[in-house]
């Protein structure tokens, strides 16, 4: 039996280019894995078997003719937040359960142009609001390392699918940690690019000044190939930045001699909600590995990072309240039965179709934007956001990258935090500042912790970079992955 699922995108791409395997064969193989194993995980909302096979056949023709792009024929999954023409795009909400997108998001279009085959659309927290993938209308996603634990959120379906090797890679989005936190929980590599690097056109908006799309895969070299395809200026997106896209694979093999790694003391503090000692031990071992590879560790300060959670939970809900106002039961999406009048149509359609967490955030955001509170909350939050951003700018005058944990603990159990939204929000305490500042950051697997229920669960190291420094982050991650095999580990149940 072929073991294609053990191969990375980089390896599968080389095999396809060399004619060692066809895209049809690969696509069938992964569709079969999804059919036989996703029942345990619930990581997919839609599987696009017919479309995937048609794309695979077209890929094989291109490959046979020579000169096909490097990703041609590689099957991947898209988070169900990206519009996909002719395929349901639900954002894991009852509100969009009946929405078939009439067009492709730019990310989807770019990936298709690069030759990838779309296996299907992955499950997520409803409208990307959540840190555990429990708010989905289609039910919770499970962690492939422990089916009783959460995979993280909101890109939990993508992380679980890649972690269980049901897909070689997937797209995700990151508003406050939604690529990095699930990547850490599921033992894979995930990259959140600089804000504006990847187009947001056709990506259903949660918080427009924070959302950013990125790749989730086994390794840093995979993420480099995927980002090459995803990134670039898009005139359809007013937040897209017109800046040349480098070849992210070009510098992967640069040695790390003299690399200056900043360690923010705030991220390693043992205060309330601080880091689990077992997680910290894995992080410290990884830092020692970096030292052995020629890097220098420098303690730095990010004094305003403790403000990031309160700032985020004013800014993000305010923007979500504005973005979700378009779902009114009139134009598309869910509509309530027999409304009495327009007001009844609005209130019942929204009340019946939005889940609890989405309603909670809309209410918080509407309150923060309302007359008399705008200056006290939203405006103040935006001022504090500048301070958080300035801390990073100062730090990068002294260091090349910053390293810290992704999460204070390993994946918690399903249901453990659903009744305590504040505790749930605090699981993003180490990731949110990056989104507020707009800088790039990634998560790589650096070990396992035997958690309280006796399961070995993955730990992620967060690597943060200066604006548009994705190539450096990928180089730093790739060099570590050349020395270790944490990113190669697979959950027993899905081998």
Can you list the alpha helix ranges (DSSP code H) found in 65-201? 106-113, 156-163, 180-186
Strand 75-79 and strand 401-405: the pairing is unpaired
Catalytic hit among 7, 79, 109, 121: 79
- Dmax over Cα atoms in the chain, in whole Å? 70
Query: What single string gives the DSSP state of each residue in 34-54?
Result: HHHHHHHH--EEEE-HHHHHH
The C-alpha atoms of residue 54 and residue 339 are separated, in whole angstroms, by 43
**Residue carrying the six token digits 């180089």:** 475
- At residue 88's C-alpha, the angle toward residues 87 and 92, to 5°, is 145
The span from the CA of 439 to the CA of 196, in Å, is 10
Could you give the 3-state DSSP secondary structure of residue 318? Answer: helix
* Residue tagged active-site, from 23, 43, 59, 154: 154
3-state class (DSSP) for residue 462: strand
Q: CA distances (Å), 455 to each of 9, 17, 63, 412, in order?
A: 28, 39, 43, 11
Find, among 189, 172, 169, 77, the residue nearest to 128 by Cα: 172
Active site residue 79: yes
Active site residue 154: yes
CA distance 358 to 76: 28
* Cα separation, 179 vs 373, whole angstroms: 32
Does residue 79 contact residue 121 with C-beta atoms inside 8 Å? yes
Catalytic residue among 178, 305, 308, 321, which? 178
Query: Which residues are designated catalytic?
Result: 79, 154, 178
């Amino acid at each position: 039996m072929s073991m294609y699922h053990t191969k990375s995108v980089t390896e599968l791409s080389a095999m396809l280019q060399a004619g060692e395997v066809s895209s049809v064969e690969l696509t069938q193989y992964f569709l079969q894995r999804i059919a036989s194993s996703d029942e345990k995980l619930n990581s997919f909302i839609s599987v696009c078997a017919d479309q995937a096979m048609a794309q695979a056949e077209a890929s094989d023709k291109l490959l046979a003719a020579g000169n096909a792009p490097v990703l041609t024929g590689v099957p991947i999954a898209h988070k169900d937040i990206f519009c996909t023409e002719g395929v349901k795009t639900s954002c894991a909400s009852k509100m969009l359960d009946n929405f078939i997108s009439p067009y492709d998001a730019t990310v989807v279009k770019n990936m298709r142009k690069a030759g990838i085959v779309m296996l299907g659309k992955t499950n997520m927290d409803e409208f990307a609001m959540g840190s555990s993938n429990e708010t989905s209308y289609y039910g919770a996603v499970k962690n492939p390392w422990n089916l009783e634990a959460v995979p993280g959120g909101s890109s939990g379906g993508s992380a679980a699918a890649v972690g269980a090797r049901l897909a070689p890679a997937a797209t995700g989005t990151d508003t406050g940690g939604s690529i990095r936190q699930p990547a850490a929980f599921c033992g894979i590599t995930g990259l959140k690019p600089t804000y504006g690097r990847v187009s947001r056109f056709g990506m259903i908006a949660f918080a427009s000044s924070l959302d950013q799309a990125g790749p989730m895969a086994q390794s840093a070299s995979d993420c480099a190939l995927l980002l090459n395809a995803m990134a670039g200026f898009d005139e359809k997106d007013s937040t897209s930045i017109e800046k040349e896209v480098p070849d992210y694979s070009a510098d992967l093999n640069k040695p790390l001699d003299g690399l200056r790694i900043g360690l923010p003391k705030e991220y390693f503090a043992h205060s309330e909600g601080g880091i689990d000692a077992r997680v910290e031990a894995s992080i410290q071992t990884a830092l020692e590995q970096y030292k052995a590879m020629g890097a220098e560790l420098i303690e730095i300060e990010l004094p305003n990072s403790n403000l990031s959670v309160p700032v985020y939970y004013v800014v993000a809900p305010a923007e979500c309240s504005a973005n979700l106002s378009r779902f009114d039961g009139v134009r598309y999406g869910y509509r309530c039965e027999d409304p009495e009048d327009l007001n009844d149509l609005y209130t019942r359609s929204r009340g019946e179709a939005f889940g609890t967490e989405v309603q909670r955030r809309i209410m918080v955001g509407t309150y923060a934007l309302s007359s008399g509170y705008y200056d006290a909350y939203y405006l103040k939050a935006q001022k504090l956001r500048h301070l958080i951003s300035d801390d990073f700018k100062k730090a990068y005058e002294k260091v090349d990258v910053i390293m810290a944990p992704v999460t204070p603990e390993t994946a918690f159990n399903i249901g453990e935090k659903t009744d305590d939204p504040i505790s749930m929000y605090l699981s993003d305490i180490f990731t949110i500042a990056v989104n507020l500042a707009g800088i790039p950051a990634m998560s790589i697997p650096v070990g396992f912790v035997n958690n309280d229920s006796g399961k070995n669960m993955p730990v992620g190291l967060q690597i943060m970079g200066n604006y548009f420094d994705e190539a450096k982050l990928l180089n730093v991650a790739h060099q570590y992955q050349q020395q270790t095999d944490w990113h190669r580990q697979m959950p027993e149940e899905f081998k």
